[in-house]
């Protein structure tokens, strides 16, 4: 089975240690928005890098997250903002898949 573009681009693995409480919060939030914990963590990292002015991956990548380097309680975006962000990301991925299907 051929790799998708997203999977092929992801060649680096980062192991991050979280407390049980941090992981549970990440997993619960990911479940709320319909993604896995790794996907949500990757989205938050990309958003943080974009806000810090670090060059992000291609324009078709996940839109930046509203999280900032501020206290944890204030970092959490309102659910509607994160849901909108994930919907835009999902729409972009669906468009990519449709292009791939049309080409093959």
Can you give the residue ranges of every domain in the chain? 18-103
State the pLDDT confidence band at 17, using cuts at 50, 70 and 90.
very high
Q: Classify residue 83 by burial, with Cβ atoms within 10 Å: 0-12, 13-18, 19+.
A: middle
15 pLDDT more than 80: yes
Cα(54)–Cα(52) distance, integer angstroms: 6
pLDDT digits (tens, 9 = 90+) for 53-76: 766 555 444 444 444 444 444 555
- 27 vs 58, residue with greater confidence: 27
Cα 42 to Cα 37: distance, rounded to the nearest angstrom: 9
Cβ-contact 46, 64 below 8 angstroms? yes
């Amino acid at each position: 089975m051929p790799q998708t573009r997203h999977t092929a681009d992801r060649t680096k693995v980062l192991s991050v240690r979280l407390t049980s409480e941090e992981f549970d919060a990440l997993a619960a939030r990911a479940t709320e928005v319909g993604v896995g914990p790794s996907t949500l963590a990757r989205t938050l990292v990309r958003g943080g890098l974009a806000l810090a002015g670090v060059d992000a991956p291609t324009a078709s990548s996940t839109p930046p997250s509203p999280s900032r380097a501020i206290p944890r309680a204030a970092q959490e975006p309102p659910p509607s903002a994160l849901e909108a962000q994930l919907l835009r990301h999902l729409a972009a991925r669906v468009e990519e898949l449709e292009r791939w299907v049309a080409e093959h």
